[in-house]
Amino acid sequence: MQNTEIPKEKTYRPIPEAGLLGRVITRVGDVFAIAIVLSAMALIYEVAMRYGFNAPTKWAHETVIFLTAITFVYGGLLGAATDKHIRVVLIYDTLSPRLRRVFNVVISMACALASALFSWAGWLVVKRAIWTPAGDFRLETSGSAWDPPTPGLLKLFLLFVLILLCLQFAILAINYAKRK
Amino acid sequence: MIDLLALIPDLKALGIETATLLMFGSLLLLLLTGMPLAFVTLLVALIFALGWFGPGAIPLIVSRIFSFVNSFVFVSVPMFVLMAAILDRSGIARDLFDAMRLVGGRLRGGVAIQTLLVAVVLAAMSGIIGGEVVLLGVIALPQMLRLGYDRKLAIGVCCAGGALGTMIPPSIVLIIYGLTASVSIGDLFSAAFIPGLMLATMYAAYILIRAYTNPDIAPIPDPGEIPRAEKLRLLKGLVLPIMVVIFVLGSIYGGIASVTEASAIGVLGVTLSTMIRREFSLSLVMGAARQTLATVGMIVWIGIGASALVGVFNLMGGIRFVQALITGISDNPMVVILFMMLILFVLGMFLDWVGIALLTMPIFVPIVVNLGFDPIWFGVLFAMNMQVSFLSPPFGPAAFYLKSVAPPDISLGEIFLALLPFIAIQIIAVILLILFPGIAIY
Amino acid sequence: QDYALRFQSSDPAGNPNFELQQAWAERVATLTGGRVTVEMLPVGSIVQHTETQDAVATGIIDGHVTDTSYFTGKDAAFGLIANPVGAYGSPAEMLNFIEYGGGKELMNELLNPYGLQFIGATTPGLEAFISKVPLNGVADLKGLKMRAPEGLVQNVFLAAGAAPVNLPGSEVFTSLDKGVIDAADYTVFSTNHQQGMHDVANHPVYPGFHSMPLVEVSINKGTWDSMPADVQSILEISVRDFARDMTSQLAMRDAVSVAAAIANPDITVHNWSAEERAKFRTIAKSQWVAVAEKSDNAKRVYEVLTAYLTEQGLLAE
Ligand code: NA
Ligand code: NA
């Protein structure tokens, strides 16, 4: 009879190869964990105001979409720092430690290169979201009655995370290569 | 950098047929290297964007990442995961399963069947899978393992049961189908209900058959002589979870909250439950939120990659390609339908449902209507097919979701093996639905 | 063949609007003798509907057929010109503004700097209103929990005393069904009817009083500038014809659906009196001014639009 218990407290930890950046990413993760709790509270508030007082808010849904969006994006970065992204390790697990190291280095380099290209493209996207064609600064807004600049902010945030993702994978590649 | 880009061959010269094969081939190959899944699909999307169009097409991928995360539909995913994480940290889940064991009594496989029942109730609360598979994976899986259930059976019940969320209304797959086909979403919902229950019943039958032919895989708990007082204490474990269910379902069906908002009501419900049990603490909430962040990061990025890939494929002329594949396949309408099912099945091995829906619905729906089939029936058939795609390897989202929360010693390979019988059941359900359309359109 | 163009629509594949757009695309090939082909792609197939402007400008796709109000977040002017709630009583009044009232020039003034060329406009027509409760005038909007999309429509309903709820199109049906909201701005009557909206909200208001979206047909500016004059003309004229095609066919479909709805004892179709419509229009106009304050372009739209409406006697002071 197998008896598998999930360890109760499994908060994420950066893998050693993620370096200082990985530790910072994990630490800052708490901000986004709190964002999830805040979005739950905002939704409950919206339901209470609408159902209870017939006064739906202008801001709850758009705030929640923004909070969950940045959480999703950041979660991907966190997955890189903690090496928690789902991988098919069918073949990988049968490799010798030497070959495994080579795989780790090459995979991290490929991911770093891809993220670098995405960052460059992200910059092109962001340019159109934060400046008017005339060159005036304006964050793209949602266009709703509340009209928050969340699309512009989210595009900026995405660019920022893509750059960090590139750095994180580069650091992983270097550290995998260095470590015997 | 420019030199590096020059290394990418001109894929356009290959033509869409070869390029499509190459795309699936490279997906499979990269998958097997052990590269993180999300980045496998993103990388393939990147290579084909570059090789077909050049660097000017890369912003398309970034745009799709932005659009994917910036959507209200997925808000319910972190809510369900948060609910699961809070339940996991309190004693609620354990007490629930202890009580269920008591209620299940001498029935072999009783707890697995009850888990399935929980899955159906969850399916009525949510329109999207992901959160549900995680919830069952966090709560039911360890409990079934603790009670000595066969690992594969327990894994299968969690994945297949969790996937029911898009078969039983409300269902975002059916809503998107309804908008694409311009048919009544209400009709789709009522048509999908019986087939959804049928699928759940088939799962239950499978569990019972397995449990009674091989008693080892679903041990009957030895109740010994539980004193009445102890029984009552155990049964109390049912009260809070049932209250939460009433809370959430009541808010949806009572018109208090939208389906997405109801997932937050669920969070409120379980949080209040921990308070009633005097287990509530800030560190409990924070720990649960941290686990949610890590889990949704994994879940959502898998979808992001697949969505980017479909965008690139569509830009390459994927829609026209699939259209051309179908037209002229046969004069027999049934053959056309079966061929569509085959396409869905194959796509299901490589993409998640958002991608499949975006790619195939615009092509299939007009053809199905022209052939004289009922688009409502086909919508249910489509949703049933998506059930298969959630589980089928190598790209099986339900398996990935479960893996993200399962004990580390459960490998993806084991999960997929466990899912094979359930996939077989789903395929039987698809066939039944084709043979007897009356199951959906009565 | 000189131009193989890809256009993305803001409508899903099975939607009647999309089928009409596909028919337009096919006509373009015939009219140009095959020199220009247009592949019409359904909503979301390449990029999300809110991102098509960027995608056209950067050449990822060649053009789009879409509701201009999706770009309100880029400039409030798009929101105002796309749906000046209460300005028009019929599609012709809007299309005349575009063709002859300075609308087309204005659209290009707005779009050219973004890298797009406006070819022409169409509209699905006056959108119908879906409601679970009988609505016979502005007073009935008070406290009404209703879904309104982004843009001016939401501001106007807020000003009219309703309680707009932000909901994506995909949640409209279930939310109406369960009563989370009582009413919704969705689309034209026939499509609402086809999608079963009137089964869950059986007090539609028809003709609608609140919204008639401008659907722009635009193309990458560089591509446009490279086209010979005859091809440009054919495209412009084809869109002008497309507008007639779409408005006529959708109006005919609406008429059929309205008759079906009236014959259905479970559905009551409400029609607002001229007086109530005027009341709503007055509220709407107060919001135009507010939007005009948001950007120089929006102010410009306000001036050109009110000049046209005044000249045509459509703007009762
Ligand atoms: Na469901
Ligand atoms: Na699959």
Tell me if A88 and B31 make a contact (CB, 8 A cut-off): yes
Of C57, C70, C158, the CB nearest to A145: C158
Residues 43-82 of A with CB under 8 A from B: 43-44, 46-47, 51, 61, 64-66, 68-69, 71-80, 82
- Is residue C157 a contact partner of residue C119, using CB atoms and an 8 Å limit? no
Q: What per-residue confidence (pLDDT) applies to C104? A: 97
* Domain residue limits at A48: 9-178
For residue C110, give the chain A residue with the closest CA: A133
Largest CA distance in chain B: 78
C145-173 pLDDT, tens digit each: 998 877 788 889 999 999 888 777 777 88
Distance A10 CA to ligand 1 centre (A): 29
Q: Are C90 and C126 in contact (CB under 8 A)?
A: yes
Structural domains in chain A (count): 1
Instruction: Please give the distance, rounded to the nearest whole angstrom, from the Cα atom of residue B394 to the centre of ligand 1.
Output: 25
A125/C contact by beta carbon, under 8 A: yes
| A76 inside domain | yes
C67 inside 8 A of chain A by CB:
no
Residue B384 Cα to ligand 2 midpoint, Å, equals 13
Nearest to C298 by CA among C130, C67, C30, C83: C83
CA–centroid distance, B126 to ligand 1, in Å, is: 5
Sign for the CA dihedral angle at A104, A105, A110, A111 comes to positive
Q: Could you give the 3-state DSSP secondary structure of residue C170?
A: helix
Q: Are B153 and B425 in contact (CB under 8 A)?
A: no
Distance (Å) of CA B397 to CA B214, B348, B405, C261: 29, 10, 13, 43
pLDDT at B6: 64
Q: Is residue A132 part of a domain?
A: yes
pLDDT at C316: 64
Domain contains A95: yes
| Cβ contacts of B92 within 8 Å, gap of 6 or more | B237, B240, B241, B270, B273, B274, B277
Which residues pair with residue B400 across a beta bridge?
none
Q: For the purposes of burial, counting CB atoms within 10 Å of the CB of B310, is it exposed (0-12), middle (13-18) or buried (19 or more)?
A: buried
What ipTM was reported for this prediction? 0.93
CA distance to partner chain B, nearest, from residue A125 (Å): 6
Q: What is the pLDDT of residues C75-119, one digit of tens each?
A: 999 999 999 988 898 999 999 999 999 999 999 999 999 999 999
HSE-CB of A19 using CA atoms within 13 angstroms: 14
pLDDT of the residue at B126? 79
Cα separation, A143 vs C73, in Å, equals 4
In this predicted structure, the answer to whether residue B313 has a pLDDT above a threshold of 50 is yes
Q: How far apart are CA A52 and CA A7, in angstroms?
A: 41
Which residues in chain B have their CB less than 8 angstroms from residue C13's CB? 180, 361-363, 365-366
Residue of C13, C179, C199 lying closest to B361 (CB–CB): C13
Mean pLDDT per 10-residue interval, chain A, length 180 residues: 39 89 95 97 96 90 95 96 88 90 96 97 96 94 91 98 98 90
Residue B324: how many CB atoms within 10 A of its CB? 14
- Does residue A78 lie in a domain region? yes
pLDDT, residue A4, reads: 36
B49: amino acid identity, one letter: A
Q: How far is CA A95 from CA A64, A101, A174, B33, C23, in A?
A: 44, 9, 20, 10, 57
Element (H, E) at C183: strand C183-185
Say what the pLDDT of residue C169 is: 76
Does B60 sit within 8 Å of C47, measured CB to CB? yes
Collapsing DSSP to helix, strand or coil, C220 comes out as strand
Q: Which residues contact A27 (CB under 8 A, 6 or more apart)?
A: none
SS (H, E, C) chain A: CCCCCCCCCCCCCCCHHHHHHHHHHHHHHHHHHHHHHHHHHHHHHHHHHHHHHCCCCCCHHHHHHHHHHHHHHHHHHHHHHHCCCCECCCCHHHCCHHHHHHHHHHHHHHHHHHHHHHHHHHHHHHHHHHECCCCCECCCCCCCCCCCCHHHHHHHHHHHHHHHHHHHHHHHHHHHHHCC
The predicted pLDDT at position B5 comes to 61
Per-residue pLDDT tens digits for B251-302: 988 889 988 899 999 999 999 999 999 999 999 999 999 999 999 998 899 8
Reported for B435-439, long-range contacts at CB under 8 A and 24+ positions apart, including other chains, are B437/B374, B437/B377, B439/B194, B439/B195, B439/B198
- What pLDDT score does A9 carry? 45
Asked if A128's CB is within 8 angstroms of C54's CB, the reply is: yes
Residue A1 lies in a domain: no
Who among A29, A61, A113 is closest to B72 (CB)? A61
Neighbouring chains of A at 3+ CB pairs under 8 Å are B, C
State yes or no: pLDDT of C202 exceeds 90. Answer: yes
pLDDT at A158: 98
Considering only CB atoms, C15 lies closest to which of B182, B255, B320, namely B182
Mean pLDDT, rounded, for C195-206? 93
Q: Using an 8 Å CB-CB cutoff, list chain A residues near B265.
A: 43-44, 47
Distance CA A130, CA A141 (A): 10
Mean pLDDT of B370-376: 92
Q: What is the mean pLDDT of residues B436-442?
A: 87
Confidence of residue B14 (pLDDT cuts 50, 70, 90): confident
| In-domain check, residue A4 | no
Residue A3 lies in a domain: no
Q: How far apart are CA B220 and CA B105, in angstroms?
A: 8
Cα separation, B365 vs B347, in Å, equals 17
DSSP summary character for residue C140: G
Is the pLDDT assigned to residue B432 strictly greater than 90? yes
Kindly give the distance from the C-alpha atom of residue B416 to the centroid of ligand 2, in angstroms, as a whole number: 10
**B158 close to A6: Cβ distance less than 8 angstroms:** no
Unique residue bearing structure tokens 């084991």 = B414
In a domain, A168, yes or no: yes
pLDDT in tens, B83-119: 989 988 888 888 888 888 777 767 888 889 999 999 9
DSSP β-bridge partners for residue B107: none
The predicted-structure confidence for B115-140, as pLDDT tens digits, reads as follows 999 999 888 887 788 888 998 999 89
> What pLDDT is stored for residue A180 in this prediction?
56
- Give the C-alpha separation, C96 to B78, whole Å: 49
Least confident of A59-63, B206-210, B398-402, C172-176: C172-176
| pLDDT of the residue at C315 | 77
Both tokens of B136, joined, read 């069952």
